[in-house]
Chains A and B, each alone.
Chain A
Amino acid sequence: QSVLTQPPSVSAAPGQKVTISCSGSSSNIGNNYVSWYQQLPGTAPKLLIYENNKRPSGIPDRFSGSRSGTSATLGITGLQTGDEADFYCGTWDNSLSAYVFGTGTKVTVL
């Protein structure tokens, strides 16, 4: 089972904002940078945020990330129907010597 905990789902109307939490521990989020991945239906995951809050080229600034202690948060503003996807946090776990993913959060645009 995943060592990073996310809410199963979040939803909001178009144009609104959602936040997704990712809770871990000192062996993972507490001592390593967090990435976020977006998986659109039927496609491979894509890097959305790296090093807690940096966006790869081409990712709009509607997507933002932050980390505090052993938790991380992904924010999506100006929600669009095209944002409907599964989102996963991920980071290295020093105790497990393994990369760990969050449980995943489905974003629904109402």
Chain B
Amino acid sequence: EVQLVESGGGLVQPGGSVRLSCAASGFTFSSNSMNWVRQAPGKGLEWVSYISSGSSATHYADSVKGRITISRDDAKNSLYLQMNSLRAEDTAVYYCVRWWGVLPAATFDYWGQGTLVTVSS
């Protein structure tokens, strides 16, 4: 069974940093590209970042570019999101999501339960 378990969320001051982690199991993690998707309270879904299998390619949403770094450790079956210079508008539930398939036919097939990041003083 595919499982994605996020951790690392919490209350962070504006301008602060946080590192989110996602522990993956039930599939060959190293063979899959991965993503982070976030959802602000009461709002819709917003894609944040993508990392390919082997870490050869990364993509970021314009709203977080320059402030966020996605990475992975295939030996630990783990995905990470380093978030710096946090703003109130970064407050959201952050989901770890598996990328399945190849463009133009790729999709998000498995989602974690999410971890809440609250940016507030």
Q: Which residues of A are at the interface with B, using a C-beta cutoff of 8 A?
A: 2, 31-33, 35, 37, 39, 43-47, 50-51, 56, 86, 88, 90, 92, 96-104
Contact = CB atoms under 8 A, between A and B. Distances in A.
B59 A97 contact: yes
Given A37-B45, A88-B44, A46 B111 contact: yes
A34 to B, nearest CB: 9
B101 to A, nearest CB: 8
Contact of A44 (B46, B95, B109): B95
Contact of B46 (A32, A51, A86, A101): A101
User: Do most interface residues of chain B lie in helix, strand or loop, or is the interface mixed?
Assistant: strand
A92 B104 CA distance: 7
Nearest to A104: B44
Contacts of A97: 59
A47 B109 contact: yes
Interface string B43-83: 01111001000000001011000000000000000000000
Contacts of B101: 50-51
B14 interface: no
Nearest to B61: A98
Nearest to A51: B105
B63 to A, nearest CB: 10
B47 A50 contact: no
Interface residues of B, number: 25
22 contacts: A32-B104, A32-B105, A39-B45, A44-B112, A44-B114, A45-B95, A45-B111, A46-B111, A50-B107, A50-B109, A51-B105, A88-B44, A90-B45, A90-B107, A92-B103, A92-B106, A98-B59, A98-B62, A99-B47, A100-B47, A102-B44, A104-B44
A50 B102 CA distance: 12
Given A47-B110, A98-B47, 19 more contacts: A31-B104, A32-B103, A33-B104, A33-B105, A33-B107, A37-B45, A43-B113, A44-B111, A44-B112, A44-B114, A47-B107, A47-B108, A56-B109, A90-B45, A90-B107, A98-B61, A101-B47, A103-B44, A104-B44
